[in-house]
Structure 1
């Protein structure tokens, strides 16, 4: 079955509910943006930003000496080697990319479980690389938090794992765009990854460019969710063909 690029028959009830939930999360985050309630989630977003630098460093054969996340919502990643022009933009793009992945993962319980498990594993690994107690405390706190949410999901009627993963994903998506605005457009930060990247690879209108790239990740989310109506049909077609082939094979065996 061909992908539904024209987005016909969009959207069914489940898709509308999901998109409304994303909108509610967005409004809630913007309303609580400057409150202490969102601080842990902002710090997790900073963690994913710095972790993306670390991943880019490893992918370019560099060495990660340490990661720090500060209480003022700042962070640093100490690296040695690797490709600098690849490592620098990885923070902005990585944060938005992980937000996109978490939003898509929240559409199904199985993928939400996988995302939560991977997130817990990443926090556990970074716990041993962290260079300050803010990041260590953040890792321990969110490991416990996600563990409790998972236990509630499996043992009680409080089934909110998908919504927690979705909320973290939306938070990452919004924070990445805000981070670019804060670093490049409003210029409240004197030294940033984007400024260092501009020194290495000069480019006009870099702030707008990074913002468009990050927003495009979120547009991809919406398109994927809107196209999801064609996925069950494909799965049903594959399953039907597999079962038909299985029955034909069994009939041939019986004839022999």
Structure 2
């Protein structure tokens, strides 16, 4: 009983967390609308195409990655040899949902969002190397990097927090809808679930798709729960914490000139901007 009461207290959102949940809910609605509206769905392409899970799981299981090819309609295709296929095949769905869940949790806190953006920069580096011959990948990642740098400087990192939250929600929703579309709503013979069922038998592709859908949803829910439990700071506390963690220059209230908090702040902010732009 005490554990249940303590858990309920931990997951009960404060005002800042409630606002974050409301924003996440709005993201889900907006993404759902844009996803199914012709022409408007192109807005989601830069976020929809950031699919790297196959390659990273392949790398971790000693596969040789040849290339990543991106398509606005179908997402990503990874060419690799070796690795452990029963891990690499579901990595596209489950990896996206796991990464999305981590970003959702980080979206509850400004400093955590800063860390998430640096991790994302590392992902971008690997992706650019594997897809170095794909001009679409370069354009997308340069655009995403520009947005990330911009949001570092808005509201002391608050804008970055909501940007990271959006990427997390988008990744989770992409994984959930992709599983449904490829395995449950229609059968795609070239889908990862179909290949998995063909190689390992046991269950048809729709069953594997349903299992992966449940796991992806669990990741989504865990991302929200971790954010609620781990990051209880309100907006003022987050601003104070963010001011001392990879700080950025602040603007004068009556002008446009920049006042650095310190030389270190200038150096860190400039280095972050240059690195992101180079990515």
Tell me if TM exceeds 0.5: yes
Alpha-carbon deviation of 1:140? Answer: 1.8
In terms of mean alpha carbon deviation, does 119-128 or 208-217 score higher? 119-128
Work out whether 1:44 is the aligned partner of 2:43.
no
In terms of mean alpha carbon deviation, does 203-212 or 117-126 score higher? 117-126
Task: Give the equivalent residue in structure 2 for 1:90.
Answer: 91
Task: Give the equivalent residue in structure 2 for 1:178.
Answer: 177
TM-score by length of 1: 0.79
For residues 203 and 214 of structure 1, do their structure 2 counterparts lie closer, same or farther at Cα, with a shift above 3 Å needed? farther
Cα contact 2:63–2:80 (8 A) shared by 1: yes
Task: Give the equivalent residue in structure 2 for 1:28.
Answer: 30
For residues 145 and 15 of structure 1, do their structure 2 counterparts lie closer, same or farther at Cα, with a shift above 3 Å needed? closer
Alpha-carbon deviation of 1:203? Answer: 3.7
Cα contact 1:43–1:73 (8 A) shared by 2: no
User: In structure 2, what is the Cα distance between the partners aligned to 1:4 and 1:42?
Assistant: 43
Q: Which runs of 5+ in 1 are unaligned?
A: 233-256
Cα contact 2:109–2:231 (8 A) shared by 1: no
Name which of 21, 24, 28 aligns with 1:19. 21
C-alpha deviations, 1:165-189, integer Å up to 9, x for none? 1011101111100000111011253
Q: Which runs of 5+ in 2 are unaligned?
A: 235-279
In terms of mean alpha carbon deviation, does 36-45 or 117-126 score higher? 36-45
Task: Give the equivalent residue in structure 2 for 1:7.
Answer: 8
Higher radius of gyration, 1 or 2: 1
C-alpha deviations, 1:14-59, integer Å up to 9, x for none? 23222222111111211222344553544433322xx111111111
1:1-256 to structure 2, matched below 5 A, reads 6-8=7-9, 10-35=12-37, 36-39=39-42, 41-48=44-51, 51-130=52-131, 131-154=133-156, 159-187=158-186, 189-204=188-203, 205-228=207-230
Cα contact 1:184–1:194 (8 A) shared by 2: yes
SS in 2 for 1:32: helix
C-alpha deviations, 1:141-171, integer Å up to 9, x for none? 21222222223355xxx84111111011101
TM-score by length of 2: 0.73
In terms of mean alpha carbon deviation, does 202-211 or 98-107 score higher? 202-211
SS in 1 for 2:80: strand
For residues 134 and 203 of structure 1, do their structure 2 counterparts lie closer, same or farther at Cα, with a shift above 3 Å needed? farther
Alpha-carbon deviation of 1:229? Answer: 7.3
Aligned residue pairs total 227
In terms of mean alpha carbon deviation, does 84-93 or 136-145 score higher? 136-145
Cα contact 2:59–2:83 (8 A) shared by 1: yes
Cα contact 2:101–2:168 (8 A) shared by 1: yes
User: In structure 2, what is the Cα distance between the partners aligned to 1:76 and 1:54?
Assistant: 9
